[in-house]
Amino acid sequence: MLAEHSGGTVSDSTRELLGKAAELAGGLGGTAQVAVLGPADLAGQLGGAATVLWMDHPALAGYVPQAYEVALAHLLAERSPRLLLLSNATVGLDLGAALAVLWDAPMAAYATRLAVEDGVPVATCQVLGGKALAEVELPGDRGIATVVAGSFPASPPGTGTAPEVVAVPPPPGLDGVATRLRRVIEPEAGDVDITAADVLVSVGRGIGSKDDIEIVAELADALGAALSASRPVTDNGWLPKTRQVGKSGLKVKPRAYLAFGISGAPEHLEGMRDAELIIACNTDASAPIFDVAHYGTTADLFDLVPALTERLNG
């Protein structure tokens, strides 16, 4: 598997893949090896892996797809793993298909479940935007799976035994990479970090207009919660992008997530389904949000939200 990292910290998706990689390796009679491209001091965050394959080169100082393709293609040819795991986020979407061609391997994309059955890796993958699931076998001697974030529990940082670190000389091809990372432009910080909130009150398309968001904001204030939103709300400019929950927004894991007027598109569910408690309000009883909610109601949010706020403030 590939360790994704930024600012000296491995990503949540990487920590989610660590435990699954070790489990699959056991089922296939092998060991879990993690590729780290760039800084070597990330090995301490990769407990549970048997081996960290570390490669450093000026072209790998930051994430550049072309450089990562060259480095990983070299590692795959040298190590011949049975299965390569990538996150189904930016890096995995960049690299998965390219490596499948370079390595001549089948790929299962948008995987939400991985298992070994009769010695063969089997992936359950989202298709049609998550509206259906397909079970895919990866027979032969190699395969690639890109995994949807949140599909597996994350290993806490620093857990597990420290892996062996093996320095791998960079291939000559890295010297000829035509692209370089000039600088990283960080997004402007939002007024609230919704990823750190214990309670989120989230609003979706069902709110109808920007002016009506105020009634949900009042409930959030009464609960001492942060206000968040689904993509249609931020796309309309009713709330800033820093408040967006979902695959193209932010992934959140609050103690409680209250969703009002959110239907539950796969893109949104991917960002909040790991909340400890999910409470949903949507007038459509068949809305997908109810598939992940612990409690739900089909009451009209314009009746329910003011009543809840009045009760909390009373």
pLDDT at 187 over 70: no
Q: Does the fold of domain 194-313 match that of domain 5-176? A: yes
- pLDDT value at residue 275: 93
pLDDT at 47 over 80: no
**Across 229-248, average pLDDT:** 91
**Alpha helices for 3-117 (secondary structure H):** 12-27, 65-79, 90-103
pLDDT at 218 over 90: yes
For residues 86 and 101, the answer to whether their CB atoms sit within 8 Å is no
- pLDDT value at residue 115: 96
Calculated CA dihedral for residues 6, 98, 167, 42, nearest 10 degrees: 20
- pLDDT value at residue 159: 59
Burial category of 68 from C-beta neighbours within 10 Å (exposed 0-12, middle 13-18, buried 19 and up): buried
pLDDT at 295 over 90: yes
Orientation angle between helical segments 90-103 and 65-79, nearest 10 degrees:
50
Q: What is the percent of the chain with per-residue pLDDT over 90, rounded to a whole number?
A: 68
- pLDDT value at residue 154: 77
- pLDDT value at residue 213: 96
Given pLDDT bands bounded at 50, 70 and 90, which one contains residue 314?
Answer: confident
Whether pTM exceeds 0.75? no
What does the mean pLDDT of the chain come to?
A: 90
Q: What are the DSSP E strand ranges found in the chain? A: 5-6, 9-10, 33-37, 51-55, 84-87, 107-117, 120-127, 132-137, 144-147, 164-167, 199-203, 226-229, 256-260, 278-281, 295-297
- Predicted confidence (pLDDT) per residue in 103-122, tens digit: 999 999 999 899 999 999 99
Query: Which residues partner with 53 through β-bridges?
Result: 35, 166
For residues 125 and 112, the answer to whether their CB atoms sit within 8 Å is yes
pLDDT at 236 over 70: yes
What is the token pair recorded at 212? 């009506």
CATH class of the domain at 5-176: alpha beta
**Across 74-97, average pLDDT:** 93
- Predicted confidence (pLDDT) per residue in 133-171, tens digit: 899 999 999 999 999 877 888 776 655 677 888 999 999
Q: What are the extents of the domains in the chain?
A: 5-176, 194-313
pLDDT at 266 over 90: no
For residues 227 and 203, the answer to whether their CB atoms sit within 8 Å is yes
- pLDDT value at residue 206: 95
Q: For the domain bounded by 194-313, which CATH number is listed?
A: 3.40.50.1220
**Across 224-250, average pLDDT:** 92
